Amino acid sequence: MASKYGRNAFTVQEATNSANAYNTYKCEILTLDAANEKTTASWANQPAKEIVFYSAGSVADDDGITISLKVNGAHGDDIVLSHDNLPFTVKGLLVEEVVIHGQSGDADAITVLSFH
């Protein structure tokens, strides 16, 4: 019989700390087909606690991607990434929405993996 007090057991604080425990995850591929096109991933009813952005295989070396995060009902400053910055992880915020802007005319695909 396994012990509930072993190395992998959770304390009461860890079990009730909703900022560090993940209930579910979602994976979305956001595609940008034209320069300055915007695409959105929204989780207003269940904010993401951690988000990982990575290339879906089609971000060229000279392409820039701009990411805007909606936290507490408002978008903050834009985050500008190049292909060298991917994968890129955001932690420690409850993100309600992600807006991605393409800066080139090439088709780009960004995978957004969010943990809720």
Q: Whole-structure pTM over 0.85, yes or no?
A: no
Print the domain residue range for 57. Answer: 22-115
Domain membership of residue 87 (yes or no) is yes
Domain membership of residue 14 (yes or no) is no
Q: What is the Cα–Cα distance from 110 to 52, expressed in whole angstroms?
A: 10
Domain membership of residue 31 (yes or no) is yes
What's the domain count of the chain?
A: 1
Whether the ω angle into residue 87 lies within 30 degrees of 0, i.e. cis, is: yes
- Which CATH number characterizes residue 78's domain? 2.60.120.510
Q: Taking the CB of residue 94, how many other CB atoms lie within 10 A of it?
A: 14
Domain membership of residue 13 (yes or no) is no
Domain membership of residue 58 (yes or no) is yes
pLDDT tens readout for residues 10-61: 555 555 555 556 778 999 988 877 666 788 899 878 899 999 998 876 655 5
Domain membership of residue 42 (yes or no) is yes
Q: Taking the CB of residue 103, how many other CB atoms lie within 10 A of it?
A: 17
